[in-house]
Amino acid sequence: MKHIWILTGITIKEGIRNRVLLGIIFFALVMCCVNAVVTGSFTRDLGKVAVDVGLSTVSISGLAIIFFLGMPLLAKDLDKLTVYLILSRPIARRDYIIGKFFGLSILVLISVIILSIITAISVKIIMGLTPDYIPELFSWGIFGMAVFFSFLSLVIMTALSILYTCVATSSYMAFIFTIGTYLIGQNIELVRTLLKNTNQGNSFSISLLNAASWVFPNLSAFDKKTVAAYGLDFHLKDLGMTTAYGISYTLLILFITVLVFNKRELT
């Protein structure tokens, strides 16, 4: 157990000193200015747009951390074999995976926290300037809830990125798989709904989609941006289910990753 935390710590240390993190935060600040500009070009629903853009920024930077910081670090471990310096210690391969996962998740969490604070400030300023356009039911609690679910979906992506890095033969392939899974995960519910509602699509494609919804993560379930933007009703049952789903899927992916990594040759 202790080994896992030591490994988590060293992952975070290496990650934080990497300049990519700074770059992403800088990008976030730029996006906040863009937010101000963009909302200026709307005539209605300014508050809603500000929240939309702000939460999207949080998601995008989380993804950027995974793709431009997390995956390269992992890839380096396996390509350049910096993993030797860890596995030559009395630490099990399983602990390596779990430690890495926690380390990367915390890096993502740091980015999410910094960005949601910056975003919240910019949203507050925009709402302060145009109080007429704040959606009536907006609340910071719901905003926080949306950030939480965004983070949960990023945790899933982190676990998947680790799995793909361990499975794929090159870091490029791992990158492609991860992006692909992200796109599929975001759209699977949309496509299923479309086919179901409009009675199009033959039974083969419907069964295929149903099967896919068990393999791929349903990332759109974690998208609470509209709810946050309008302060809409949310149902505790849905939130509870979504959280349980996120945690169980992540655990499953980690389990599979440990199994795969135990077999992998590090040469």
The residue ranges that bind other proteins (CB under 8 A) are 3, 6-7, 9-10, 13-14, 17-18, 38, 41-42, 48-49, 52-53, 55-56, 80-82, 84-93, 189-191, 193-194, 197-198, 213-214, 218, 220-221, 225-226, 235, 237-238, 241-242, 244-245, 247-249, 251-252, 255, 259, 263, 265-267
Least distance from other proteins to the Cβ atom of residue 29, Å: 19
Closer residue to other proteins in complex, CB, 92/113: 92
Least distance from other proteins to the Cβ atom of residue 88, Å: 4
Nearest to 58 by CA among 135, 142, 118: 118
CB 20 within 8 A of CB 70: no
Closer residue to other proteins in complex, CB, 108/227: 227
Tokens standing for residue 201: 């699509």
Least distance from other proteins to the Cβ atom of residue 176, Å: 17
Closer residue to other proteins in complex, CB, 80/132: 80
Least distance from other proteins to the Cβ atom of residue 171, Å: 15
Task: Name the amino acid, one letter, at 62.
Answer: G
Closer residue to other proteins in complex, CB, 26/42: 42
CB 17 within 8 A of CB 27: no
Tokens standing for residue 261: 């990594």
Task: Name the amino acid, one letter, at 28.
Answer: A
Nearest to 109 by CA among 35, 57, 58, 182: 58
Least distance from other proteins to the Cβ atom of residue 251, Å: 5
Tokens standing for residue 151: 């983070």
Helix (H) or strand (E) holding 39: helix 19-40
Tokens standing for residue 90: 């009395």
Closer residue to other proteins in complex, CB, 88/202: 88
CB 126 within 8 A of CB 50: yes
CB 188 within 8 A of CB 216: yes
Least distance from other proteins to the Cβ atom of residue 250, Å: 9
Closer residue to other proteins in complex, CB, 53/108: 53
